[in-house]
Chain A
């Protein structure tokens, strides 16, 4: 977004991985490995490096334009994540951050923070009955299979928790 003050909210996801941080780091930063779980990429974990990711999927997808913001091998990796359309401003301008922590069992606690999703209706939602119900109706229509729990968390298939700020 062009307005730096525009409110945003993150997706935060935590996962317990049965592999040490150095191995997880490789999967996060080596193109051959990344291609197998996220998408074809020319990633290089150096601050300032621009790269793209093409998550596999249906035809018609656009590459995600990325730029490494922070890289601490084995510990933390952060990059811009922008979905763009030709000739247009960034449709989605966000930041993806991975934090790796070793566990006592020799595994890794992985934390993903995908931040920068715009909260455009904050003012309209706050205490405005009509706004809230309309938005909820929209949300239900748009994502009928979204299993949202009241406490703002949803279960991942593998038992971890995905959560988001309200």
Chain B
């Protein structure tokens, strides 16, 4: 099992960083409900439009939000598949630990007096 792939680890760090900020996480959650423009998004938050744009840029950088342009307007939606590497972590460890506990049992059998 390939638990610790470097490229994936870097990607995961990006995702975690992007979602570490509570406002950014809330933006992502809003966009998981439906596609929105920046001004629609802004209505739900007590932060400035440039701040919202900055959060969107960070989320897009981490592959968590996609942009759709329509003339002068831009719309944003969440890309839940961007979270897959994180889901992966817990799934990998769910497979990892039982296998290691089985090995631990073998070791104990060996060293038992």
CB pair B6–A124 under 8 Å, yes or no, is no
Complex CA gap A18/B108 in Å reads: 8
B contact face: mostly helix, strand, loop, or mixed: helix
Residues of A within 8 A of B87 (CB): 135, 138-139, 142-143
Distance to closest chain B CB from A154 (angstroms):
7
In the complex, number of A-B residue pairs with CB atoms less than 8 Å apart: 181
Contact indicator B108/A24 (Cβ below 8 Å) = yes
Type the 1/0 row for B1-28, where 1 means its CB is closer than 8 Å to any CB of A.
1111110111011011101111001101
Contact yes or no, B12 A91, CB < 8 A: yes
Interface size on A, residues (CB 8 A): 63
Contact A135 B80 (CB under 8 A): yes
A61 to B1, alpha carbons, bound, how many Å? 10
Is B97 part of the contact surface with A, judged by Cβ < 8 Å?
A: yes
Are A164 and B108 neighbours in the complex by a CB distance under 8 Å?
A: no
Interface size class of B (residues with CB under 8 A): 35 or more
Task: Determine if A27 and B16 form an interchain contact, defined as CB atoms under 8 angstroms apart.
Answer: no
Q: CA separation between A27 and B4, bound complex, in Å?
A: 23
Docked pose: A143 CA to B91 CA in angstroms: 7
Q: Least Cβ distance of A155 to chain B in Å?
A: 9
Query: Is A150 among interface residues, defined by CB-CB distance under 8 A?
Result: no
- In the complex with contacts A61-B3, A85-B13, A36-B91 CB distance below 8 A: no
B90/A9 in contact, CB under 8 A: yes
Asked whether, in the complex, the Cβ of B91 is within 8 Å of the Cβ of A146, the reply is yes
Q: Which residues of A contact B (CB under 8 A)?
A: 1-3, 5-6, 9, 11, 13, 15, 17-19, 23-24, 26-27, 33, 36-38, 55, 57-58, 60-62, 64, 83-86, 88-92, 110, 112, 114, 117-118, 120-121, 123-124, 128, 130-131, 134-135, 138-139, 141-143, 146, 154, 156-158, 160, 162, 164
Residues of B within 8 A of A (CB): 1-6, 8-10, 12-13, 15-17, 19-22, 25-26, 28-29, 32-33, 78, 80-81, 83-84, 86-91, 93-109, 111-112
A-B pairs with lowest CB-CB distance, top 4:
A124-B32, A85-B9, A37-B103, A61-B4
